[in-house]
Amino acid sequence: MIILYGKLYSEWMIRMNTEYFQWDREHGYKTQDLEKLAKILKDGGLVAFPTETVYGLGGNGLNPQASEKIYAAKGRPSDNPLILHISKKEELSLIVKEIRPVAEELMKFFWPGPLTLIFEKSERVPYTTTGGLETVAVRMPEHEGARQLIQAAGVPIAAPSANRSGRPSPTTADHVKEDLDGKIDAVVDGGTVGIGLESTIIDLTEDIPVILRPGHITKEMVASVIGEVKMDPGLSGSDATVKPKAPGMKYRHYAPRAKMTIYDGDFKRVMEKIKEAASSFESDKVGILATEESRGMYPHGQVVSAGSRKKHTIGEGLYGALRQFDKLGVEVIFSESFSAEEKSEAIMNRLLKAAGQNIVYLDD
């Protein structure tokens, strides 16, 4: 019942008036806007805001009622813990039990930035925020607007991605509006985010650090700083009995509504195969996930580009493209594979989840 609580509560939630604010790199916030947003957070309300990865849905992470509101607004099971966002390293010692040298090293290199670290939690952090766990995930975002907001609020901000549970993470304020308008107090519109995929998560509570979610900061980058690091064996999805350690990674997630199949292999063969598969559906019922370079090559179907292979913008565009298929109302999607791209580990992890691990390898 406790797991269902968020879902049931959200169905009964009263519609509220969501206020929209602006932030941009050149002008920052208007002073009175920042004060208003900080007050909403201090009073236990919810504010969605941009980070360098995806938009987050923020609330006071030390206030259990605020965390409950986050679960309810997202329709998220309350056993799926939230990440605490801080604006300065000094704030870390208040919310964790111990900071090991390996954590110091990682923070020195990658904070502020798209890296989340998992520690044993201190007593101040409520179990509502950690989904009942003894550990807490912490991140110091690089995005200036995010850090200013956290600092103004004066508390660690719990912020999952600002989407309804199960939908792709938002990379624009419009995506947030689609999912959460009327359910939260405020949204900060800071334009399109830079990275487009959620932060890398590293668990530091085991002897050898473990990557629980791949992201912009790759295993190689982490290894170059701390030496040994492992991938969570539950991530590969190849063995259904081995569950991922991050509770959120076990859900079918990031998913468009249509059934999706990914084709991997020699690029010419992939394109031929997608054309052939698409031809047995009505053109407006079949979606094709392609790239800037290949979008013109499919004569039949609703072709959506995730970004450019040449310019390495697939990560940025992937979630927006998945949302586009929902708007088009296609019934089935065929996707190119991005396993040869830069940062492919993070991109393929999200794409495979969107496809429910449904991938066809065309090479022998």
229 versus 290: smaller Cβ distance to ligand TXA = 229
Which residue's Cβ has the minimum distance to ligand TXA?
Answer: 248
170 binds ligand TXA (CB under 6 A): no
Q: Is 137 in the site for ligand TXA (CB under 6 A)?
A: yes
Q: Let me know: does 119 contact 99? Beta carbons within 8 Å.
A: yes
DSSP-assigned letter for residue 53: S
Please state the closest distance from residue 157 (CB atom) to ligand TXA, in A. Answer: 9
Which of Mg ion, ligand TXA, none lies near 130, with the C-beta cut-off 5 to 8 A by kind?
ligand TXA
Sites for Mg ion among residues 161-200 (CB under 5 A): 161
State the binding partner of 249 from Mg ion, ligand TXA, none, CB within 5 to 8 A by kind.
ligand TXA
Q: How far apart are CA 46 and CA 28, in angstroms?
A: 20
Helix, strand, coil abundance in the chain, percent, nearest 5: 35, 20, 45
Which CB atom, from 34 or from 197, has the smaller least distance to Mg ion?
A: 197
Q: How far is CA 217 from CA 242, 297, 353, in A?
A: 24, 33, 19
User: Burial letters for 45-55: b for 16+ Cβ neighbours within 10 Å, e otherwise?
Assistant: bbbbbbbbbbb
Taking the complex as a whole, the smallest distance from the CB of residue 253 to Mg ion amounts, in Å, to 7
Under the binding rule (CB under 6 A), the answer on residue 324 touching ligand TXA is: no
83 binding partner (options Mg ion, ligand TXA, none; Cβ < 5 to 8 Å by kind): ligand TXA
**Residue 195: count of CB within 10 angstroms of its CB:** 22
Token pair of 156 as six digits? 């660690």
Provide φ and ψ at 242, rounded to 5°.
-95, 105
Cα–Cα distances (Å) from 171 to 36, 49, 122, 350, in that order, read 24, 10, 32, 14
For residue 133, state whether it binds ligand TXA (rule: CB under 6 A).
yes
Peptide bond into 112 cis (omega under 30): yes
Residue whose CB is less far from ligand TXA, 55 or 334: 55
Measured from the CB atom, the residue of 112 and 287 that comes closer to ligand TXA is 112
- Provide the 3-class DSSP secondary structure of residue 144: helix
Q: Which of residues 191-250 bind ligand TXA (CB under 6 A)?
A: 198-199, 201, 212, 245-249
Size of the site for Mg ion (CB under 5 A): 1
Stretches 4-12, 22-30, 135-143, 291-299: which one binds ligand TXA (CB under 6 A)? 135-143
Residues that bind ligand TXA (CB under 6 A): 51, 53-54, 56, 80-83, 116, 118, 130, 133, 135-137, 139, 159-161, 198-199, 201, 212, 245-249
Residues that bind Mg ion (CB under 5 A): 161
